[in-house]
Amino acid sequence: MPDPPFDITGRVAIITGGGTGIGRATALVLATFGADVVLASRRMPNLESVAEEVRALGRRALPVQTDVHESGDIQEMVRRTVREFGKIDILVNNAGGSYRAPAEEVTAQHWDRMVSLNLRGPFLCSQAAGEVMREQGGGVIVNIASGAATGGAWGVLPYGAAKAGLVQMTKLLAGEWAQHHIRVNCIAVGAITSEGFLRSMAKQGLDPDQVAGRNAMGRGGWPEEIAYPILFLASDASSFMTGETFGVNGGPRLA
């Protein structure tokens, strides 16, 4: 194990949803600890902004416009990463999202889009990056799920079901790919006061402090409070850990 075990100098990380919130914070934390970073999302201006921040830390950054609904975009993201950096050491499946609607109002289109974004996309990213990792002798995948996957939440049925699938996918991929020295773990996050969360709350007319504070700590998390657990899973500090999901969510509120 390297000393210090959190050192990831020279490793290459792909971060989907890398332009804002948890993705941006993760890019900066991984770069601070030595990684070069590939930033993927649909909005190129956001990616370029984060790429400049990464470069200011002395690491290389490659922004790649990517829609994880599109398998062709995912394949191109992986091809460009290998062409630019020669390898993929870390994949962070962070891209995702939701909006609230009661179960009786969920349409087939709504269901399909939530599953595509939150489960199908991470699988296709893992499959494409995993092929490179197998050929090079190993790697790490970190999936970002939600407390809605295990605890449930009103109005997010398709999202919660997709994230529950992501938790199960984590276990199954870990079991299949351990022989290739690929570790796969997952974080089930609570409410994080990112730009996306605040926009969602405003659109729904909800108080973000009230929604985010439904935990033992009584507050929402900060993106950096997810980025450092991601660093743990991406580094050799977690070298004997695979197939696991743990919550980073402010703790359970007791009745």
Counting every residue written for the chain, the total comes to 255
Confidence of residue 61 (pLDDT cuts 50, 70, 90): very high
Q: CB burial class (10 A; 0-12, 13-18, 19+) of residue 107?
A: exposed
Radius of gyration over every alpha carbon of the chain, rounded to an integer in angstroms:
17
3-class secondary-structure state, position 193: coil
Q: Tokens at residue 102, please? A: 């009661």
Given 85, 123, 159, 197, which residue is catalytic?
Answer: 159
What local confidence, expressed as pLDDT, does residue 201 receive? 72
What local confidence, expressed as pLDDT, does residue 252 receive? 86
8-state DSSP, 101: -
The identity of residue 251, as a single letter, is G
Q: Tokens at residue 117, please? A: 């974004």
In what helix (H) or strand (E) does residue 84 lie, and over which residues does it extend? helix 71-85
**99 is known as an active-site residue:** no
Q: pLDDT over 90 for what percent of the chain?
A: 80
Distance CA 211, CA 214 (A): 6
Distance CA 27, CA 39 (A): 8
Q: What is the mean pLDDT of residues 40-67?
A: 98
Q: pLDDT over 70 for what percent of the chain?
A: 98
What local confidence, expressed as pLDDT, does residue 1 receive? 64
Q: What is the mean pLDDT of residues 54-82?
A: 98
Domains and CATH numbers, the chain: 12-248 (3.40.50.720)
In what helix (H) or strand (E) does residue 93 lie, and over which residues does it extend? strand 90-93
Please list the alpha-helical segments (H only) found in the chain.
Answer: 21-32, 44-56, 71-85, 108-115, 121-136, 157-177, 195-204, 208-212, 224-234
Average pLDDT over the chain, rounded to an integer: 94
Q: What residues are paired with 16 via a beta bridge?
A: 40
Q: Is the overall model pTM greater than 0.85, yes or no?
A: yes
Confidence of residue 212 (pLDDT cuts 50, 70, 90): confident
Q: What is the mean pLDDT of residues 90-97?
A: 96
Count of other CB atoms within 10 angstroms of residue 211: 16
Q: Tokens at residue 250, please? A: 């402010």
Task: Specify the residue for token string 């914070």.
Answer: 25
